[in-house]
Structure 1
Amino acid sequence: MKQRRVGATGLMVSDIGLGTMTWGRDTDEHDAGEQLEVFLDAGGTLVDTAASYGDGAAESVIGALLAGEVDREDLVLVTKAGVRTRRTPDGGGVVDASRGSLLDTLDASLERLGTDHVDLWLVQSPDAATPLTETLSALDQAVRSGRTRYVGLSNYPAWTTARAATLLAAPAGPGLAAVEVEYSLLQRGIERELLPAAEALGAGVLAWSPLGRGVLTGKYRATVPASSRAASPHLRGFVDPYLNERAGGVVEAVATAASGLGRTALEVALAWVRDAPGISSAITGARTAGQLRGVLAASDLALPAPIRAVLDEVTAPELGYPERF
């Protein structure tokens, strides 16, 4: 696995990151430990989590592993704040990027993780009810207090990202190190404005769900496996948007490319995102260590230019005014 610089910062991360969205819920501490061991052995460093994953359970699992035989110095820890769980029967998420909520959440994250700092701290979602300046003040305070080394945003539109970068670039400001956004052959919307903005601003891009929420693996071509996310009560809604005719056509194109290369569809889809211009790391999760080994098999795959060109063409996002004028 290669190490890449995150934007214009000095932070280095593995070009494939380990996502932990299911840890503490669908993936127990034992399976998570096996995954982390496989990941580190393959040269991985970036471990991505969030306070909202399992309502803190994912961070607690990571903390337990760090309290064991895993060396904190071997990991680049990324966590996120700004989405908290409602104390209601449905347990839905509430976006809250106010200064108090963000800093309280960061303190709780550090306690669960068993560390005095994270390497990169992100605001997980835009909060229309909180002024952006207030949200950014929490990022600035987190860096000044040493609770995080770098800060960034996740799932923010390009114009807000650009404004945030300008404000964080003030004298003695922490700067905007990275953005974390969804990016795959099924979701290329960031190419319209966010990717060019991030490049111009010197922010690295961490791509979440590079496998199209699992759909690009081809597992849903014939049916919905009982053990899959699409069959899970709490993850079905996450996968459903990509179980449609258009996505099916993309999946077939990826499968055809994979067949011609003698590789899996998963490897092709992941390699396409990992090596796309501007991407620092492609973050993907797995339920088991065996699944993770299948993911990491893509580490040595460099897509031939003609195959990348074909995949680019059949999945290109629609551009118009004002992106093209």
Structure 2
Amino acid sequence: MEHRQLGRSGLRVSRLALGTMTWGLDTDADQAAEQLSTFHDAGGTLVDTADVYQDGHAETILGELLTHHIPRDEIVLATTAAARRKPGPFGGGASRGSLLAALDDSLRRLQTDHIDLWQLHAWDPAVPLDETLAAIDTATTTGRVRYAGTANYAGWQLATAATHQRAHPTRTPLISTQHEYSLLDRTPEREVIPAATHHGLGLLAWAPLGRGVLTGKYRNSTPADSRGAGPLASYVEHHRTERAARIVHAVLTAAEGLGTPPAHVALAWVRDRPGVTAPVLGTRTTSQLKTALAAEDLTLPPAIRAALDDISAPTDTPPQP
């Protein structure tokens, strides 16, 4: 698998990442082990998890696998700390104390002494930004974190945080941001991607298959064994719109013409968009993962890419500079 630099940094990652949102929910430990082996064997290195996935259970599963199944030093381990509020003195969202406590919990569950990429999961307006970012500096200077990024920040939030971290040489610069990005959701193009590009951050695109809708399996019905029929039904329903149906039809038409699965078309489109370092694959099964990984061999012809750009173009007007 091809590898890319993540933002303006020395960290190289596979241009497809393995996500773990379903681990411990739709994907049990044995299935997770099979997925990780498949991804590793394909040359993948970047594995992304989060402390909120099944209240940390996804991290626990991954930690066991990196201890007993796949060598830790062959994986670029990424996780996030959420700005969640809960009872107790360290339930204060993205406060310094809360974030560092969350980091220590993640390290324990992941059975490692460091995180390769630690990401702030969400902006917390109740906590001063310099306090939130100071947690990143502490985490890196103590060796618990190697690189830092954000997730789900708006464009102005991302630009503010990146500027703050580069304003002084003792601070840890941000190198990446995560955001939903697909043919069904191109909102990052308005402000997030321009901000990331300007500040030298790579984009990790989650839900690159439009939460599964771009595979075409929800075109006429909801398969009984799909994510749309389970606990994450509302997650999928978000993209089941008339506009999405038109885009899915275009993807299916392109896939038929190229003789390839629709997932390959959708993934190749995201993967090769300006500013994107890697789509994050949130597959439930090993079969789905193998299909997604095979997109590595596809480069969309310019005419097909242009047609997909046109049919999926955002309908809102971007802000004027």
Other-structure match for 1:31: 31
Other-structure match for 1:90: none
1:168 aligns with 2:169: no
1:8 aligns with 2:5: no
Matched-pair contact (CA < 8 Å) for 2:92–2:98: no
Give SS of 2:238's match: helix
Task: Give the Å deviation of 1:64.
Answer: 0.8
Within a 5 Å distance, the mapping from 1:1-325 to structure 2 comes to 1-84=1-84, 96-169=93-166, 170-233=168-231, 235-318=232-315, 320=317, 322-323=319-320
Identity %: 53
> What is the letter of the counterpart of residue 36 of structure 1?
L
Distance 1:27 1:321 in 2: 39
Matched-pair contact (CA < 8 Å) for 2:83–2:124: no
- The worse-fitting range, judged by mean Cα deviation, of 5-14 and 163-172 is 163-172
Matched-pair contact (CA < 8 Å) for 1:95–1:126: no
Distance 1:123 1:155 in 2: 9
> What is the letter of the counterpart of residue 74 of structure 2?
D
Matched-pair contact (CA < 8 Å) for 1:95–1:125: no
Evaluate the alpha carbon distance shift between residue 82 and residue 219 of structure 1 in structure 2; reply closer, same or farther with a 3 A threshold: same
Distance 1:11 1:60 in 2: 25
Task: Give the Å deviation of 1:69.
Answer: 2.8
Distance 2:21 2:134 in 1: 27
Task: Give the Å deviation of 1:86.
Answer: 5.7
Distance 1:194 1:319 in 2: 15
Task: Give the Å deviation of 1:320.
Answer: 2.9
Q: Structure 2, unaligned stretches of length 5 or more?
A: none
Task: Give the Å deviation of 1:226.
Answer: 1.2
Give SS of 1:174's match: coil
- Listed one character per residue, the Cα deviations across residues 83-129 of structure 1 (whole Å, up to 9, x for unaligned) are 44868xxxxxx992111111111100000000000110001111121
> What is the letter of the counterpart of residue 105 of structure 2?
A
Distance 1:154 1:8 in 2: 17
Give SS of 1:120's match: strand
Matched-pair contact (CA < 8 Å) for 1:82–1:101: no
Distance 2:257 2:144 in 1: 48
Distance 1:95 1:228 in 2: 36
- Listed one character per residue, the Cα deviations across residues 165-199 of structure 1 (whole Å, up to 9, x for unaligned) are 11111222110110011100000001011111111
Distance 1:173 1:124 in 2: 19
Distance 1:64 1:176 in 2: 28
Evaluate the alpha carbon distance shift between residue 4 and residue 95 of structure 1 in structure 2; reply closer, same or farther with a 3 A threshold: farther
Distance 2:85 2:125 in 1: 18
Distance 1:319 1:159 in 2: 18
Distance 1:206 1:321 in 2: 22
Distance 1:290 1:321 in 2: 39
Distance 1:115 1:267 in 2: 34
Matched-pair contact (CA < 8 Å) for 1:45–1:76: yes
Q: Structure 1, unaligned stretches of length 5 or more?
A: 88-93
Give TM-score, length-normalised by structure 2. Answer: 0.96
- The worse-fitting range, judged by mean Cα deviation, of 141-150 and 43-52 is 141-150
